[in-house]
A and B are shown apart, each in its own frame.
Chain A
Amino acid sequence: MQRENYYIILELSVDPPENDREVIEKAIQNKKIEWSRLRNHPTKGLQIQKYINMIPDIQFVMQDDKLRAEEALAAAEFIESGRENKISEIDSHIDILMGKGYISKEDIIRLAEIHGLSQGDINERIASKKNAKYVRVDQFINLRMGKGYISEDEVIKIAKKNGMTPEEIRNRIRCPIVKDDKDIDHLKIQPLDKSIEKAITDNLKVVGKTSLYNFLGLAETCELKQLQEKAGKKKKELATIGKKDAVLTASVTLAGQCQTIFKTNETRIAYDVSLARAKLAALDSDINIAAINKKIRHEYFDALINKAMEYGMDKDEASSYIQTYCQNKKYRIEKKPEKKRFRLMIAAASVLLVLIIVAGFMAFSKIHHRNVIESEYQDLIKKVDAERAPDQKLLLLKKYVTTNANSEYAADARNRISQIELQINSTEFGKILQQADQLVQAQKLDEGFTLLNQALEKTSEPENKKIISQRIKNVSELIEKRDFEELSAVSLKGDADQKIEIYKKYLTTHPNGKNKAEVQALIDKMSDEYFIYVSKTLASYEQSEQWEDCARLCQSYIDIYDNSHSDQLKQLIPKYQENIRNEKIYDALVDKVNRLGTDYKAAIQIFKDYLAAYPKTSITEKINKNIDRLNGLMSVQNSNQAAYNLRLQFAKTKGRFVEKPEGVIVDTKTGLMWCMLDSTIIKPGVCFTYEEGKSYTEVLTTGGFSDWRLPTPQELAEIYKTDPAFPATGKTSYWTSESYSGYSDGWQIQVTTFSSEDSIHWETAKKNALECGVVRPVRNP
């Protein structure tokens, strides 16, 4: 690891470097004093010790003229690189503040304060941050510049994809923009001469640069004038260098080329186009490899499209680029085979033939029955004409059609039916329109819209359809207007999620809405703000373990945006899915445990087995809580059993010890009231130090009493060293209320205990308060 710089540690001036030995010696002495004082600092002590250990080397380096000069140089470099490191931190702060859509003057002042920089520095950073956003955009532009021009369609696509306006994109394009691909004929794109291009590329290789822009140290988007100035300056600089080696020669040549290339906008465009083409060279080479015998198999074509999409093209662009390239190269692209078509045609023809034969046969049998049916039909028509109500007429005719569907007169009957229906419909149609208009007037636009749509479905009359469609169009325009107004209101005041929700809803309801572009722009602008909202909400969902909501929220962002934030969120989803799976496992475990009823031991084992197999998952904590809960239930179970056994023993004390109320034993001789169960039964296996024992007693509410205390040694003797005695089980050591401090500084406390090895012989003993003991609480009546 590189050591820290001594100029910086000693806080000496770097620019110009401090060289006065006396000043340096004084600085070292001051540091010695400062570090000696901080030597035992609780958090910085180690770092300070490291500095103290460095003093001999500091003295050595700073007293040597040559080493000191090197140190000063390194310090200057370090300060510069420190600035760069700081930049990423500042950038992240700027991102957050930009979330609201702009950066205020107050924000700049605050950032300057936090980072100890001038406001100018922060402004500079905001500007370059904006430039950084353009890197992605420039990549898209460059890719398309390869063909020598960019179309308006492409400009709009790029703008949309990057959340910028087409105007912003146009400003960054350094080649002609055409309205239509057809317009390119009039363009005279002069690509750079191949030999010049190669000479430039070769020289750049020698000096280790990637482009003339890179050689001059300027951005590809900078002004022509700037490029010209820099090229002139570079040439002058190079002329002063005495050492004439390959690098210098190449550099001088490049400087000259810069002056030529960056002379006019046309020459520059030519260079830019070549540069862009070079970027596409990788794809071209893939196409060449795929073209075996000047033919590209259809599977290869698909693979090439995928490859082109990786470079940043969309599917259509990719397909068109590859096709054009192949056309120029005279490569043939194989089409996908259509083997099944011929067989299908034969099958269809056969079916048609069969149908014709069947229809002929049917016609023949109809003629045969003609006379019989004629008179029946005439009777029916008379009946119909006599009927007044149109629906009754319909009923008669429909009945005839149903029973005589194959009759010669069925067609006439049907004709009559449709005429009557038309008559009915036109009356109803008028009613519906009237109803719809009323709804619209009452601002019940959605109901009106639904009604009209229903009517449209029912109507078969083309004229009516046209009328309804026009009405639907008008109503949807009104709805669009209303929705957009509502959306505009939300966009001013709403929260990020409300805004996104309403924007999305708008785009779904009005896929061709008048304000679609504007809404899309609003969505694009919100990428940072919505990300902040998503991050915050995720944090709260995580807190409450709403993993499905987490995954859904991430997905909702990813569905809308394709940027670095969405990449970040994509990485989170697997974690959430893992947690969702764990939750399901947890539910299954709980279910299994619940089925065990009061067999708590087995239930605990189920949880413990799971923890043994998966010791650290998102549900570990919950499982542990369950184990604690089950342990609690088990101890209640155990103490109930112990209480039952004890009651049998108290019954044999000839009335000396009586239970009253439940869980409390009254010593009828002294009147003292004792807890029936001691701490070993209530909390089996738990070590109670003296302090813990006291706390245990203080919070006890057995029998409804809250004044339980530790007994004195005498009180314990009174119940155990007597006959009949309080029932006891085996080796026990009870804490008593007698304690005293063992040391003047409070380090150690000694306690008197009342102990027995065999529950028959009892004695008092001293014990450290930190050891384990048992508590038998008592209270005065």
Chain B
Amino acid sequence: MAEQTKRIFGIDLGTTYSSIAYVDEYGKAVIIPNAENERVTPSVVFFDDESIVVGDVAKESSKLYPNEVVSFVKRSMGEPNFLFLHNSEEYRAEEISAYILKKLAQDAEQFLGEKVTDVVITCPAYFGINEREATRKAGEIAGFNVRHIINEPTAAAIAYGSLDSNDERVVLVYDLGGGTFDITMIDIRKDSVEVICTGGDHNLGGKDWDDRIVAHMVELFQSETGTDEDILDDPDTWQDLQLSAEKAKKILSQRPKTPISVTHGGERVKMVISREKFEEITEDLMERTIDFTKEMLEEAKNKGYKSFDEFILVGGATRMPQIKARIEETFSVNPKVYDPDEAVAKGAAIYGWKLGLNDGLIQRLSQKTNKPIEQIDDISVMIESNELSAQDFKEAAQEVADATGYTLPSIERSMLKVKNVTSKSFGVVAHTPQDDEIVFNIVLRNTTVPISLKKNFYTAVQDQKTVLIRIMESETSRVEIPLDHAVEIKTAVLNLPPNLPADLPIEITFTLNEEGRLHITAMEKTAARQIDVMVDTASVIQGEDLERAKARSQNLVVH
């Protein structure tokens, strides 16, 4: 391995299962098994007195210590009011997610015998600004250099596209994971992966199918025993049923029926659930995914994409036979189940690997052209504009190939462009002429990122000290919407210099980077003065809390 190409790992941080992958010396993406020799690790954290346990053991412990176990924490990412209390210490979702990342990394380090420092982490395409920010923070708390946050369907498409890189096609990625659902249209080309449109729900996933089974079991238990007690009020029973339901769902994906037993309060009831019943009680969930898909296809039409070439199914929950059947029936296509558990982590690893190779190229080019590394960002654009000579590029690529042992074409293809879109609209609170508060959307959903937009604000009074900007996220494509149709995700305070006159324009730049994270800068235009912007995001861990979590995580060994 060459000294200048740092290994970048891909991590699929899922709601129910997580996994880590890397690209081996033959250029192939490989999943790294965990210490228990499993290729996927349950995203479950068990706070066991002084130590923290992640994975299978934690999941099994949920039956015995339901109050000490955290599952499905991904659903609470970016949620300011999520709080887990253990030994009088408070933990937020980002920190608990960090423990899952740590477990994956530790086991990978043990397996490979090398340190995991740089990672690409995936998140659902449908995550908003805060959830993405929170995912990055989770990586930082775990002590990683988070190179990129990449969308799960994009990662799956990269993995899928890498199978046969010459074939250009438009694919629909139907990603039904443990807790989230994304439907994404992606244009895969030779040198780029471009997201056209995305939609979905980060509260819809395999767990919801499990929950329906749980509710059904409770009902059967009640009718069998004649009790009307809500047996789910007992945390032990709840966890027990939750695990049984997940197993039942998997069995029902293979077999027409499955026996289950429910034990509660000394009573044991045996029951049989048929696949027909299962499909009946979950039909509406299935329908929701179909509706999202139809909506997304409508939006894609507005962008000129009226058809697609392939329909691929990603995520463990797509193994349920009704999913494939319903898609066939509705869209008259034959969807392909593509590596449902591993495609996302593998795609993230491939993306990381290409980032690493690109780093090497930039470093060589910097040495050759004597340009500082920061000035060389998009190599292909620089070659087109003759800022870099094709000769220099070829030589640099050859050197990287020699040093790493990878082939020249794969080095050349490392400049893979990934174009993403925002899954939600964001805007600011503004006042109408009637002085009603509304949300004025600055960036509409499904706009390609990165994007920078400038907007002028005017001081209201002389010597105004501050300007408060409330940043709102919403799920519509309209420019003006009522206040209660959006969620406040951040507030930004501009600290103005003294003695400004009234009605002075202040230019505010909103930048959504390629990861879909938001940056805000402000400038007082007359004097071209940069204005200090304080962004407060209560939804994402920051400041003292973040530092404390980092310190706590550093000294911690996850089992």
Binding site for B on A (CB under 8 A): 29, 32-33, 35-37, 39-45, 49, 52, 55-56, 689, 691-692, 695, 743-749, 769-770
Contacts and interface: CB of A to CB of B under 8 A. Distances in A.
Contacts of A770: 253-254, 321
Contacts of A42: 210-211, 214-215, 232, 238, 241-242, 245
B250 A747 contact: yes
Given A42-B241, A52-B79, 4 more contacts: A40-B72, A52-B82, A689-B256, A746-B254
A40 B75 contact: yes
A3 to B, nearest CB: 12
B39 interface: yes
B82 A39 contact: yes
Contacts of B82: 32, 36, 39, 52
Interface string B215-239: 1001000000000001010000010
Nearest to B245: A42
Contacts of B480: none
Contacts of A36: 76, 81-84
Contact of A41 (B76, B232, B321, B341): B232
Contacts of A692: 256
A636 B207 CA distance: 44
A745 B250 contact: yes
A672 to B, nearest CB: 28
B84 A37 contact: yes
B181 to A, nearest CB: 16
A735 to B, nearest CB: 15
A149 to B, nearest CB: 54
Most chain A CB within 10 A, of B85, B214, B218, B340, is at B85
Most chain A CB within 10 A, of B40, B72, B254, is at B254
9 contacts: A29-B83, A32-B82, A39-B75, A42-B238, A49-B203, A52-B82, A689-B256, A748-B319, A770-B254
A32 B81 contact: yes
Contact of A43 (B81, B84, B232): B232
B81 A52 contact: yes
B84 A40 contact: no
Contact of A39 (B40, B76, B211, B319): B76
A694 to B, nearest CB: 10
Interface string B437-461: 0000000000000000000000000
Contacts of B39: 744
Interface string B272-287: 0000000000000000
A691 B250 contact: no
Nearest to B241: A42
Given A40-B75, A42-B232, A33 B250 contact: no
Contacts of B153: none
Contacts of B75: 39-40
B81 A747 contact: no
A39 B79 CA distance: 11
Contacts of B340: 747
Contacts, number: 76
B544 to A, nearest CB: 17
Contacts of A52: 79, 81-82
Q: What is the size category of the interface that chain B forms with chain A? A: 35 or more
A619 B254 CA distance: 35
Contacts of A746: 250-251, 254
A749 B232 CA distance: 34
Contacts of A56: 81
Interface in B69-95: 71-72, 75-76, 79-85
A326 B238 CA distance: 76
A41 B256 contact: no
Contacts of B251: 746
A37 B211 CA distance: 16
A29 B230 CA distance: 26
Most chain B CB within 10 A, of A35, A37, A689, is at A37
Contacts of B80: 55
Contact of B84 (A33, A45, A691): A33
A769 B319 CA distance: 12
Contacts of B303: none
Nearest to B235: A37
Contacts of A37: 67, 84
Given A40-B71, A43-B215, A55 B241 contact: no
Contacts of A55: 80-81
B534 to A, nearest CB: 19
Given A33-B83, A42-B232, A749 B210 contact: no
B548 interface: no
Given A37-B67, A691-B255, A747-B316, A43 B211 contact: yes
B197 to A, nearest CB: 27
A478 B204 CA distance: 79
B38 interface: yes
Contact of B85 (A33, A41, A748): A33
A44 B232 CA distance: 9
A49 B84 CA distance: 15
Interface string B400-422: 00000000000000000000000
B134 to A, nearest CB: 15
A41 B66 CA distance: 12
Contacts of A40: 71-72, 75, 207
Most chain B CB within 10 A, of A40, A41, A743, A745, is at A40
Contacts of B79: 52
A41 B83 CA distance: 16
A689 to B, nearest CB: 8
A673 to B, nearest CB: 28
A692 B215 CA distance: 27
Nearest to B37: A744
A41 B238 contact: yes
A330 B321 CA distance: 87
A695 B39 CA distance: 33
A695 B80 CA distance: 52
Most chain A CB within 10 A, of B82, B218, B245, is at B82
Contacts of B218: 43
A55 B538 CA distance: 13
Contact of A769 (B40, B67, B85, B254): B254
B135 to A, nearest CB: 18
A45 B214 CA distance: 13
Contacts of A29: 83
Interface in B147-183: none
B88 to A, nearest CB: 11
A55 B232 CA distance: 24
B254 A691 contact: yes
Contacts of B242: 42
